[in-house]
Chains A and B, each alone.
Chain A
Amino acid sequence: MRRGPLLVTFLSGAAVAALFFIPHHQAQAVNNKLLEWTLVVYAFALILGSMSLWNSHARKLNARAEGWPFSLVTLVSLVGITALGIWKGVGEGSPVGRIYNTVNSPLASTMFALLAFVIASAAFRAFRARSVEATLLLITAIVMMIGRVSIGPLISPHLPGVTEWLLDVPNLAAKRAIAVGVGLGAVSTALKIILGIERSYLGRS
């Protein structure tokens, strides 16, 4: 049952990996076409996600489950903005563009701003200088936070320089090693997928 999809994965993956090394314009055109097709599949995946969201909230609404009026809010906003966006467009100045600036943008930035309080309270509880490693993390975080605001140079004129050095030297070294590790991991996982060793993305039978 899964041989067909596994063959599709192998052929598409091997083709795209091979086409990268062929500079001929026709090979690049085929590569671009395959990538365009994935965009279409991705768009349908988003539609599938929205259908799943619809099902989940419609079930709550039908059953008059706890919090059903909020499910109604989700359903109305989902259908309303999708229909308005398809009808009138989504660019700057369009009705959906204005709704985005009025609703989505403030909500998204306030949700992320809320994380400032969550992170602060988590740090207050978790940050204890129990070992050399924890102390290093704590000191670096404090120096980074103070060194990049206007009070930093008032405490010490060297603080901004120390902050820059922390970012450019030890931070760069660790991030570079992490990038190399992530790269090796991604390449090996991709190879396992193309060769059919890793199959979990196809789900259970």
Chain B
Amino acid sequence: MIETWIAAFLTLCVFSFLYRENPFYRFAEHLFVGSAAGYLLAVQWHNVLIPNVWTPLTRGGDLVVLIPLALGLMMLARIWSKGAGIARWSIAFYVGVYSGVAIPGYMQAQIFAQLADAAKPWPPGAAGVNAALVFIGLITVLAYFFFSLPHRGIHGVGARIGIYFLMVAFGASFGYTVMARVSLLISRVQFLLRDWLHLLPS
């Protein structure tokens, strides 16, 4: 019960921003930052540091885990301005590994998968018309993003059609985002009216 009251109070604190910035909103904002950071740290402790460093080191005697531990501790040197050079080694390792992951990962998931789907034979009927439209949209939007040639002539016509496809996609994304936010708003109002004030049947 007390938890519902705290959640309701914090919800109202955030909604009070609709009037103007005020101490209640700032309290909720600062509490959110601190508790989110604290929660993340605790999760990392239990889900990453214990199973990947502490347990292998203390139970299995696996000294290899000292390498990531050292890299992690070197990252902390960044807190002092003179330690930036030490932290650079950890950042270099992290960025290097994820660059290596990105090359085959993006090639497979973003480029080949999308192009393979676009190159499928068109089915007969209305589905074929839609598939053709998707193919035309793909080519024209790519033409719009190709800036190595001026957007003139046939390339310019393609780029113009590509802009129309892009505008429809941006409109759809905007509409989707608004609806997602509105559904969150409805759920918060439902929480206040149903779970807290019991004005709505559960």
Tell me the chain B residues, 114-140 only, with Cβ under 8 Å from chain A. Answer: 114-115, 117-118, 130, 133-138
Interface string of A164-204 (1 = CB under 8 A from B): 01111111111111111111101101110110000001110
Report which of A9, A85, A120 forms a contact with B38, defined as CB distance below 8 A. Answer: A85
- CB 8 Å contact bits of A37-60 with B (1 = contact, 0 = none): 111111111111111110100000
> Are A107 and B28 in contact (CB-based, < 8 A)?
yes
Asked whether A102 and B7 contact (CB < 8 A) given A74-B31, A114-B15, the answer is: yes
- Are A43 and B100 touching (Cβ within 8 A)? no
Contact in complex: B3, A98 (CB < 8 Å): yes
Of chain B, the residue at the smallest CB distance from A97 is B39
A176 lies within 8 A of B134 (CB): yes
**Which of A33, A79, A119, A183 makes the CB contact (< 8 A) with B178?**
A119
Q: A98-B3, A112-B181, A173-B138 are in contact. Are A76 and B34 (CB under 8 A)?
A: yes
Give the residues in chain A near B18, CB-CB below 8 Å.
114, 117
Q: Which residues of B contact A70 (CB under 8 A)?
A: 23, 26-27, 29-30
Contact A193 B30 (CB under 8 A): no
Instruction: Please give the number of chain B residues whose Cβ is less than 8 angstroms from any Cβ of chain A in the complex.
Output: 111
CB distance from B113 to the nearest CB of A (A): 9
Bound: A5/B96 CA distance, A: 10
Contact assessment for A73 and B94 in the assembled complex, using a CB-CB cutoff below 8 Å: no
Residue with the highest number of chain A CB atoms closer than 10 Å, among B33, B40, B117, B167: B167
Partner of B104, one of A20, A36, A49: A20
Provide the bound-state CA to CA distance between A149 and B49, in Å: 45
> Which residues of the partner chain B approach A37 to less than 8 Å between Cβ atoms?
67-68, 71, 93, 97
Encoded as 1 (CB less than 8 Å from any A CB) or 0, chain B from 1 to 19 comes to 0010011001100110110
Contact present for A85 and B96 (CB under 8 Å): no
Complex interface residues of chain A between 67 and 122 (CB less than 8 A to chain B)? 67, 70-71, 73-82, 84-86, 89-90, 96, 98-117, 119-120
- Interface size on A (CB < 8 Å)? 128
A27 at interface by CB-CB < 8 Å: no
- Give complex CA distance A144, B115 in Å: 27
Interchain CA distance A35-B48 in the complex, whole Å: 12
A49 engages B37 (CB within 8 Å): yes
Min C-beta distance of A196 to chain B, whole Å: 10
Task: Pick the contact of B165: A20, A123, A174 (CB < 8 A).
Answer: A174
Identify the B interface with A (CB < 8 A).
Answer: 3, 6-7, 10-11, 14-15, 17-18, 23, 26-46, 48-49, 52-53, 64-65, 67-69, 71-73, 75-76, 78-79, 84-85, 88-107, 109-111, 114-115, 117-118, 130, 133-138, 141-142, 145, 162-179, 181-182, 184-185, 187-188, 191
| Minimum-distance CB pairs A-B, first 6 | A85-B42, A173-B137, A144-B175, A140-B171, A16-B100, A183-B110
Please give 7 more A-B residue pairs, beta carbons under 8 A apart, in addition to A43-B72, A99-B39, A144-B172.
A5-B89, A10-B96, A16-B97, A169-B137, A170-B137, A179-B114, A193-B96
